[in-house]
A and B are shown apart, each in its own frame.
Chain A
Amino acid sequence: MSTTSALGGVVRRREDPALIQGKGLFVDDVNLHGMLHVAFVRSPFAHAKITSVDTAAAQAMRGVRAVYTADDVRHLGLLPAQAAAVGRPLLADGEVNHMGEAVAMIVAETRAQAQDAVDAVEADYDRLPVVIDLKEALANTNLVHEGVESNTLITWTAPFGMEEDGLNELRAKIDGYKAQDDVVVVSLEMVNQRLIPVAIEPRSVVAEWHAGYQQMTVHSSSQSIGAVASSVAIMLGIPYNQVRGIAPEVGGGFGAKLALYADELLIPWAARELDTPVKYTETRREAASNTIQGRGWLGTATITGTRDGQVLSYEIDAICDLGAYCQDLTVAIPFLGVFVGSGQYAFDTRMQLDCVVTNKQTTDAYRGAGRPEAIYYIERIMDAYSREIGMDPAEVKMKNFIPSESFPGATSPVGFAMDTGDYAMNLQAMLDSPEYGAMKLARDELRSDGKLVGLGMSTYVEACGFGPSALVDLGFSWSGYGQPSAFNGSGLVRVNPDGTANVIIGTGPSGQGHQTTWAQIVSNELGIEMDKIRVTHGDTKDAPVTIGTFGSRSAAVDGSATFEASRKVREKAARIAADLLEASEADIQFADGGAHVAGSPDKRVEWAAIAEVAYQPHRMPGGEEGGLEAHAIFSPGNATWPFGSVACLVTVDPDTGDVSIEDWVSMDDCGNVINPMIVDGQIHGGIAQGVGQALFEEAIYDDEGNLLTAGLIDYPMVTAVDVPSFNLSRTTTPTDVNPMGVKGIGEAGTIGAAQTLVNAVVDALAPLGVKHVDMPMRPRRVWQAIQDAKASA
């Protein structure tokens, strides 16, 4: 059906027909004539000197075209990154710093030949002491990098911008609270464990060099194809416009396909060296050990408050695991935790996040990136405090929220300006919802049956929709990749001579449905039918700025740019239509594929008629220039701050420790919604990833630095039987930092989820005396917590 779409309407996704018929194009589907294949020789050790790498035998093998080591690629420099205190060599250079680090690269005629040749490369190592434990890393017992005198690369503190004197005063103030009569101090050391992002599509890169045109084409399964293209251009010493970066379908990203990877440079480099197309697709094992990991905090959270639920202060001291090298935004990820600070609350807050290097794979952005960690600690300790004073957690929250009167323009206790919010309204909406009422009834029923049953609750706020140009000054931009623009949005809207429209955007999906949502934005503004709007993304030849999809930014930032570009086109079209219809420009309205005069739907011109004038400039009214297109760059005034309330009901099997989720309720507020179906889908998936962290997932390195969870058998993922259907509802508090009032929803589900489950399990086990269970709450750990509680009872 050919219709125009209003914002807020459900439209089936335009990307689906190809994907449900197996006709989508993913990078590994790209197959070029004569294409060579790559496999990497990887370090079996977490920390060692490389004494020799002998490639002669591998080079002599059938089908092998080249074997490269650090000696061949050293001149290309380190892997570019935005905040690289310790950068990564493209191939290990004299030393390896985590298991799986690439030592040599083999290019062969088939993938099997390349993989066979891996075993023929003889590398010798002298092992060095490994740094795995975070407290040992902080103590500098051993150093990860020779010449870097401390494993702690940076310490983030909050309130943001407060100097040491101020922090000392704050410490003294909080000590004063603790010394008061009748206060309780609740403190817990908790792990927010390392995770492997696990997009189901492994990363893949295909590069082709056209020597005649000096043109490089790079296909990569990337969330930020602009960063890939500009970095390749710099490395190859050619201008940006001689590199075309293409991210076709991207099979899930979750932050892990945001960072730039060494293979995204090495594959194009080899393609030019060999003047032949080259492909590399990582194995699942490589995806586990060499694609970035997430989280990895060990922290102590402390609440000081009165016995009647008034919190006086919140403190968190945490060690954050950076892994071996800085890639992309590695050191900045914990800083995103500083952004959200103590969440939605108005009390004094002090944070100290020591960011340490270890002999493990790099950590970087994984769905939520710093914000799930920060919200986990505040929401777990708020729950523990509520339990300690015997008050309903919802009541304690209501007492301590930043009041709605502070918005718009509230400043968080850690010093950040927030856009809009009404936390009490949102929590009350969840408490009043029939779904939550049913959950409470079910809890009481199960409890009376003698089951171990718990109801857990969490609220959350996040900072997303990055972002304002000025973030460049805080180190958030892609300038490290030669992209001078900050995290601005880009949208280009062109109405063609036949009245159809092309929309070219600076961001691209990895499942978020940009083709549908962006067509809705343009259709809503211009009244052009959905099926006459074509959205192009993920191709650097088309878009001047391609920052990408991350930090729940696409709709709020690039969507806003597209909205503004549409508006510019509409204004020009209105002048043409007014001239054609002999009406006032102010009376022109757009709907159903054309323009009409307000109140006179018969006085109407189609878009093709308007475009005809635009492409015959001599007919343009007032001598205006021809053409009917506009480009907009959008820099929002602030990040956006979505928020919400979440509750779940669990039962725990006392004999096995197995946790079962019986019911789930979420009340999210992401401002205005463009497509409710897509927004709901984002929340569903986000919740499941939070459930995965809470119940199953953990990247486990042993004492020697071996990754023990490098396959999906050892890294249990959430399956369909592990989650219930979710009950989603919304409140709507539009942001004032962009024209559509949208806040972003990609990460909210995850940010609200994990602690909700832990709070529920602790609620179930509290009668036994359990105060905390660390994630992942696998059956054995829960069972052990039950046994320990029984033993000490």
Chain B
Amino acid sequence: MQVSMTVNGQAVSGDVDPRTLLVHYLREDLRLTGTHVGCETSYCGACTVIVDGKAVKSCTMLTAQAEGAEITTIEGLAENGDLHPVQEGFWERHGLQCGFCTPGMILSAVTLLDENADPSEDEIRLGIEGNLCRCTGYHNIVKAIEYAGAKLRGEEPAPAEWEVNA
């Protein structure tokens, strides 16, 4: 069947098997492999993308359901080569280790900060509950989102907490 949508600001269209999941269309047809498949059961959140402003697990959505939608994947987050403040926060605060959950985690954090510009630590933790990370224990992901929140509000982020060797 024919589908068309906007992905990272570009109009795209294609012919897909009706059973094609959005994540497979993004990864295999559009070759946007930054969106990852971790569990196929909408549990881990590695496949999270932004669909019409909402964080959506793209393994739980058919490509056909995205007809006419506006989609942002991790590849479309930086603008003109400038990292989004959430991306910057993950880099500055060591919010990633293996990087596999990171695209989904970053996109969830973007929508979280869209909805709540100054979240508390508990609100951040609740906001990313649907995205699993096995590497970081979430500690630095929370710090990364706090960093990004401050940047987006035009404030100076809290200093990093590393205990540097003397």
Contacts and interface: CB of A to CB of B under 8 A. Distances in A.
A200 B101 contact: yes
A22 interface: yes
Interface string A152-182: 0000000000000000000000000000000
Contact of B96 (A16, A112, A720): A16
A201 interface: yes
B102 A19 contact: yes
Given A8-B164, A725-B139, A200 B134 contact: yes
Nearest to A8: B165
A415 interface: no
Contacts of B98: 199-201, 249-253, 509-511
Contacts of A254: 134
B136 A251 contact: no
A697 to B, nearest CB: 11
A16 B74 CA distance: 13
B140 interface: yes
A738 B125 CA distance: 40
Interface string A717-737: 111110101101110100000
Interface string B122-145: 101110111111111111111000
B40 interface: yes
Among A283, A685, A713, the most chain B Cβ lie within 10 Å of the Cβ of A685
Chain A at the B interface: mostly helix, strand, loop or mixed? loop
A678 interface: yes
B3 interface: no
Interface in B6-29: 17, 19, 27-28
A713 B60 CA distance: 15
Nearest to B121: A725
Contacts of A685: 97, 134-137
Given A17-B91, A200-B132, A713-B41, A22 B35 contact: yes
Contacts of A87: none
A742 to B, nearest CB: 11
A200 B164 contact: no
B55 interface: no
Nearest to B98: A511
Nearest to B163: A676
Contacts of A699: none
Contact of A684 (B83, B139, B160): B139
Contacts of B117: none
Chain B contact patch, size range: 35 or more
Interface string A228-261: 0000000000000000000001111110000000
Interface in A688-743: 688-689, 691, 711-713, 717-721, 723, 725-726, 728-730, 732
A23 interface: yes
A513 B103 CA distance: 18
A199 B99 contact: no
Contacts of A713: 41, 43
B165 A732 contact: yes
Contact of B91 (A12, A24, A252, A511): A12
B90 interface: yes
Interface in A1-50: 7-10, 12-13, 15-26, 28-29, 31
Nearest to A287: B39
Interface in A468-522: 509-513
Interface residues of A, number: 71
A680 B143 CA distance: 13
A218 interface: no
A140 interface: no
Given A20-B90, A511-B99, A676-B164, A284 B38 contact: yes
B128 A720 contact: yes
A683 B96 CA distance: 13
Nearest to B34: A22
B41 A726 contact: no
A217 B112 CA distance: 42
A10 B91 contact: no
A676 B161 CA distance: 10
A749 B139 CA distance: 13
B43 A712 contact: yes
A215 B130 CA distance: 43
B73 interface: yes
A711 B43 contact: yes
A542 B75 CA distance: 30
A679 to B, nearest CB: 9
B87 interface: yes
Interface in A36-82: none
Interface string B74-112: 110110000100010011101011111111001000000
A10 B36 contact: no
A10 B91 CA distance: 12
A29 B99 CA distance: 14
22 contacts: A13-B91, A15-B99, A16-B99, A20-B106, A21-B74, A22-B75, A23-B34, A29-B27, A200-B36, A200-B44, A200-B46, A252-B98, A253-B98, A511-B97, A511-B99, A677-B94, A689-B137, A712-B132, A721-B122, A721-B129, A726-B139, A729-B163
Ranked nearest first, the 8 interchain pairs of A and B with the lowest CB-CB distance are A22-B34, A251-B100, A19-B99, A511-B97, A511-B98, A8-B165, A688-B137, A22-B74
Interface of A: 7-10, 12-13, 15-26, 28-29, 31, 112, 198-202, 249-254, 281, 283-284, 509-513, 672-673, 676-678, 680-681, 684-689, 691, 711-713, 717-721, 723, 725-726, 728-730, 732, 749
